[in-house]
Structure 1
Amino acid sequence: MSLLNDFITFEHGNEHDLEHDSEHDLRKKPQFSSPKIYNAKGDLSKRWYVYFSFRNPKTGKLERMKNIYGIANTYKKKEERLAVLSVYRKRLLLLLKKGYNPFEDNKHLLKQSKPSKIQKQQNEVATIPHPIQVQQTPIIQRQDTNINVPNNNAQEVTGTSLEKAFDLSLHLKKNVVGDRTLRDYRAHADKFISWLKEEHPNITTINLVDKAIIMRYLNEVLSRSSARNCNNYRTNLSSLMQTMEDNDIIPANHVKKIKALKTKPERNKTYSHKTQTEIFKYLEKEDPVLLLYIKFISYNFLRPIEVCRLKVKDINVKEGLLQFKSKNNPLEVKRIPNILLKDLPDLSQFNGDMHLFTQDKIGGYWDIDETNKRNHFSARYRKVVKHHFNLDKNYGLYSFRHTFITKLYQSLIKGSTPHEVKSKIMLITGHSTMDALEKYLRSIDAAIPDDYSHLLK
């Protein structure tokens, strides 16, 4: 089907040859359905394509074949998109009449149908309203009706420019991922493009980027950073290039063929009961705002950045509920335990759109990026708490979440089976699956057995 797609979306004038050879015995049972255009009822936000069915030689029934998109969906006007797909439909129909069979090897047929006359290409120019660029297909470049014929020593390959390809992919990601993820995508894409311009100035279109080029880039990232950072680049580039593949900007996503590197996972350690109690007592006088921030992490098991997102209107004191945007859900609702409710100030005095936490008080406007808010509290905790208690890099704000989930597990396990405990904890912590929770509990060593000395006697 990839050969068929290349042939159908290839810009040449072979229609005359195909029409000339399309005479066949009409008495034979139809082997294919007439190709049709799907236009999503005119909705340009959806993908348009040409589709058809072909008779399976084994079952004798017509089966739907792979859709043909080409580059039609890069056009933003209905007329242009329809014009491109009409050309694809016409070429497909003529090729089917000539004997194309998706269940057989058709290379010889496609080679025989390649254009050989410049005049045919000149006639084709008028078929499409604007010049079209096709990825990874040797074509004759043109502007308006001026034809440039490639010589025998080199072939010019046209494709979507690097900037346009990544811009389109980012645009499609805009309504799929969060703002922070989109910024990471943009940053990694810009760095990759800059590197290509510096190291490979001859690569100007996305179809020229192969696995070897990407591998060299990731190795350079690894040489100046870490395996984890290299994996982040790999993940983001793969996501963007997968969108390009899905939208027929490139034939294949080469990044997904590159394996992720093994990393040494780092995690925050849990606090001992003594240290945690001393920290809470110390902050009651030194920084009450930071203490309340930590209690949302400890008692409601929120991640630090999730606490930064909270607004006054997200706290329903009367019903003891809070709603927030979590790691996995755009809107999640949790129970606020009484141990935290009693520490909340009177929130009725604040406007609902105010942020619950600001840099110096509870309730106020703090219009900066949520990542910067999290970084502010991390730096504040390091200055106020870690230096005072001489805590190393293995302890941080996230450690409180680990500490209290461990406490929760060890309290529940005394009178229940492990499965019952995990089922209860899922409702409290917000883990979406049992597997995710079990993996998390293993990572923080929550399931520590009681003393088993008597079993060794």
Structure 2
Amino acid sequence: MNDYGGDLSKRWYIVFYALNPDTGKLEMGKRQWCPAKLKTVTARRNWGKLRCQQINHLLTGGYVFDFTPAKPANPDPVTTSLVNNQLSKPATLLDAMERFVTLRERTHRNRTHQTNAGTVARWKQFCAHLKETMGLDLSLKALEPPTTAEINAFSDYIIQARACSNRTRNNLIADLRTLTNGLAERGWLPENCFPKWTRLVEDPSRIHDVYTPEQQRTLTEWLQANDHRLYFLTQFVYYGFLRPIELTRLRVRDVDLANNQIKIHRSDAKGGRKSVGYEVIVINHQLQVAIDKMQLHLAQPNDYVFGKDLLTCDVSILRNRVSERHAKALKGAELYNGELTLYGWKHTGVCNAYRAGADIMWIQKQLRHASLDDTQIYLRSLGLTPPERIRVEW
């Protein structure tokens, strides 16, 4: 097995030789490549040991490999299909949207792809509804932008037939416009062809409430006594203004202690693209204390900071498992009310930092907002009115 001296940046493989019955000579068999999902030296060597045993068992048992020269490879059907998708123009609007969503899957983060795919699925349901109730098959609509009447009918369907909220309706139509603009970029539709539409008033929601000082103290004490790993995670959310979903993707190598910063790859961030670099978060003193206690310097660079069971390891954890664990902590601390959440630690950290006198431009950079206006809108949504300050300990 070629392990390149334990270098994990290279692709390890096993090479072996078998007797060619036609020539009576030993000839090299097909290389056995180590799976890329194995990220540690131990895991790769364990795989290599087991695979070598299997190959040796076959060879000693008289297994003969096919040494017939390979025929010239046919054109890759996947590549051919992609080229055809690029050059051929779809026949219908629905076909164009489905094809566009598939093409964006590898260039946009998974959450964005799921949102786009969900929007197209709702549009297909709408087409089926029209066909069933009116005999109009909108799925056969030619490749042209939706009309104002069709968008209004879609809006009515989402609210009346599907019983969705105004917010859901607004998000679906906004995403339809995004897809339509993407079709225009490919030359399949004219520019700025999506009809004008009006956003409906959205009901205010009370999710991710900010913790009061007493609630924060009570839950922190409970976590320190009962769930240290979840306590460390809340410190990242509270002091780093990190979203829980970003923490489930954070690797040890992204915690740059030498430069006192955390790198969040934009493919893992809200609205990020896979092709764009990374965003940076400053590690303050309080967060540094938590990181030191976690002893991340002893972990492998590719390990998840918060992996399975919130341990630092090479197996990731689902975002929902983290929220469920935090909900149990709230119940254990007798604070569960359906409004306090894991995400609420981020809002609480921002509020306390602002009231403690943190510069609004620093808050903007730490939140990774594109503009100061975004930060001011965010602060106002939390009940903070710049530049009023209330000095508190952060």
Question: What is the TM-score with the length of structure 1 in the denominator?
Answer: 0.57
The offset of 1:381, in angstroms, is 1.2
Question: Are the structure 2 counterparts of residues 235 and 387 from structure 1 closer, same or farther at C-alpha, using a change threshold of 3 Å?
Answer: farther
The offset of 1:393, in angstroms, is 2.8
Greater mean deviation of Cα atoms: 377-386 or 306-315: 377-386
Question: Are the structure 2 counterparts of residues 206 and 186 from structure 1 closer, same or farther at C-alpha, using a change threshold of 3 Å?
Answer: farther
- 1:238 maps to which of 177, 188, 200: 177
Alignment of 1:226-265 (within 5 A): 226-251=165-190, 255-265=194-204
Helix, strand or coil: the match of 1:322? strand
Residue 342 of structure 1 corresponds to which residue in structure 2? Answer: 289
Helix, strand or coil: the match of 2:201? coil
Matched, 1:165 2:101: no
Matched, 1:394 2:394: no
Determine which structure has more spread, i.e. the larger CA radius of gyration: 1
**What is the aligned-residue RMSD (CA, Å)?**
3.0
Matched, 1:193 2:124: yes
Residue 352 of structure 1 corresponds to which residue in structure 2? Answer: 301
Alignment of 1:147-162 (within 5 A): 160-162=91-93
Helix, strand or coil: the match of 2:345? helix
For the residues of structure 2 that align with 1:256 and 1:403, how far apart are their CA atoms? 40
The offset of 1:404, in angstroms, is 1.7
Question: Are the structure 2 counterparts of residues 75 and 211 from structure 1 closer, same or farther at C-alpha, using a change threshold of 3 Å?
Answer: farther
The offset of 1:337, in angstroms, is 1.5
Residue 202 of structure 1 corresponds to which residue in structure 2? Answer: 137
Helix, strand or coil: the match of 1:332? strand
Matched, 1:279 2:279: no
> Is contact 1:211–1:254 with CA below 8 Å preserved after alignment?
no
The offset of 1:367, in angstroms, is 4.3
Question: Are the structure 2 counterparts of residues 297 and 352 from structure 1 closer, same or farther at C-alpha, using a change threshold of 3 Å?
Answer: same
> Is contact 1:234–1:255 with CA below 8 Å preserved after alignment?
no
Which ranges of structure 1 fall in alignment gaps of 5 or more residues?
1-73, 82-131, 134-158, 414-420, 452-457
Residue 259 of structure 2 corresponds to which residue in structure 1? Answer: 319
Alignment of 1:357-436 (within 5 A): 357-367=306-316, 373-386=318-331, 388-412=333-357, 421-436=359-374
For the residues of structure 1 that align with 2:368 and 2:248, how far apart are their CA atoms? 17
Q: Deviations over 1:269-323 (max 9, x none)?
A: 2111111011111011221111111110101111121212211111123432211
> Is contact 1:165–1:206 with CA below 8 Å preserved after alignment?
no
Helix, strand or coil: the match of 1:360? helix
For the residues of structure 2 that align with 1:249 and 1:399, how far apart are their CA atoms? 43
Report the residue type matching 1:399 in the other structure: G
Identity, % of aligned positions: 21
Question: Are the structure 2 counterparts of residues 212 and 252 from structure 1 closer, same or farther at C-alpha, using a change threshold of 3 Å?
Answer: farther
For the residues of structure 2 that align with 1:258 and 1:353, how far apart are their CA atoms? 46
Helix, strand or coil: the match of 1:356? coil
For the residues of structure 1 that align with 2:114 and 2:103, how far apart are their CA atoms? 14
Matched, 1:300 2:245: no
Matched, 1:219 2:156: yes
Aligned positions, number: 290
Q: Deviations over 1:101-125 (max 9, x none)?
A: xxxxxxxxxxxxxxxxxxxxxxxxx
> Is contact 2:229–2:310 with CA below 8 Å preserved after alignment?
yes
The offset of 1:347, in angstroms, is 1.7
Helix, strand or coil: the match of 1:166? helix
For the residues of structure 1 that align with 2:150 and 2:195, how far apart are their CA atoms? 14
Report the residue type matching 1:336 in the other structure: I
For the residues of structure 1 that align with 2:361 and 2:189, how far apart are their CA atoms? 45
Residue 331 of structure 1 corresponds to which residue in structure 2? Answer: 278
> Is contact 1:206–1:250 with CA below 8 Å preserved after alignment?
no
Report the residue type matching 1:263 in the other structure: E
The offset of 1:210, in angstroms, is 2.8
Report the residue type matching 1:406 in the other structure: C
Helix, strand or coil: the match of 1:342? helix
> Is contact 2:119–2:176 with CA below 8 Å preserved after alignment?
yes
Helix, strand or coil: the match of 1:431? coil
Which ranges of structure 2 fall in alignment gaps of 5 or more residues?
1-80
The offset of 1:231, in angstroms, is 1.3
> Is contact 2:264–2:278 with CA below 8 Å preserved after alignment?
yes
Matched, 1:270 2:220: no
> Is contact 1:312–1:352 with CA below 8 Å preserved after alignment?
yes
Report the residue type matching 1:264 in the other structure: D
Report the residue type matching 1:284 in the other structure: Q
For the residues of structure 1 that align with 2:338 and 2:229, how far apart are their CA atoms? 23
